[in-house]
Homo-oligomer: A and B are copies of this chain.
Amino acid sequence: MTNSHEPDLLFRLLLTTRRWRQFLDQKILSSGLTDATWRPLIHLLLLGNGINQKILAESVGISGPSLVRLLDSLVTKGLVERHEDESDRRARKLYLTTAGEQLARQVHQAIQDLNRQVLGDMNASEEQAIIALLQKLENNMNRYDEKTL
């Protein structure tokens, strides 16, 4: 155990998260997508066509500029299209192409199957318990920030 001196939760979060992304990326290599790129694709599938980039960025949990580059890549691959928004000419409405929707469904399914393998015998309520706990950590940080404003 090289890390016996660091039983740190953050440390373990860093390692497990990196590992999980690499695990999925390796399995769906043939899709031409990575964790970073399939995520906006699938969120667009689930949110529905016609949303703008701001909404999608919020949903995916990344900044606007981060999403711009991922979308550039998806557009280049012919999976997503950016259309004008007549009612707000600053914005762009996003649409999956036919190929994009097909790939999104395939990858979504594949990721769900793989994630079941990762979760192993963990049941849904255990998963929810951890998610709740992680959210509590975020709440603690938010509260600390507010307190020391």
- Interface residue? A110 (CB, 8 A): no
Name the distance in Å between A40's Cβ and chain B's nearest Cβ: 12
Interface size class of A (residues with CB under 8 A): 35 or more
Main secondary structure of the interface of A (DSSP, over half): helix
Q: How far is the CA of A137 from the CA of B19 in the complex (A)?
A: 10
A4-32: contact bitstring with B at CB < 8 Å (1 yes, 0 no)? Answer: 01111111111111011101100000000
Which listed segment binds B: A55-63, A71-79, A89-97, A98-106? A55-63
Name the distance in Å between A103's Cβ and chain B's nearest Cβ: 18
Give the interface centre of A3, A9, A115, A135 by most chain B CB atoms within 10 Å. A9
Contact B55 A2 (CB under 8 A): yes
21 A-B pairs (CB sep. < 8 Å): A5-B43, A7-B127, A7-B131, A8-B115, A9-B115, A9-B131, A10-B17, A10-B20, A10-B21, A11-B61, A12-B130, A12-B134, A13-B16, A14-B21, A16-B138, A23-B141, A117-B141, A118-B141, A118-B144, A119-B137, A120-B137
A residues whose Cβ falls under 8 Å from a Cβ of B: 2-3, 5-17, 19-21, 23-24, 43, 46-47, 55, 58-59, 61, 115, 117-120, 122, 127-128, 130-131, 133-138, 140-141, 144-145
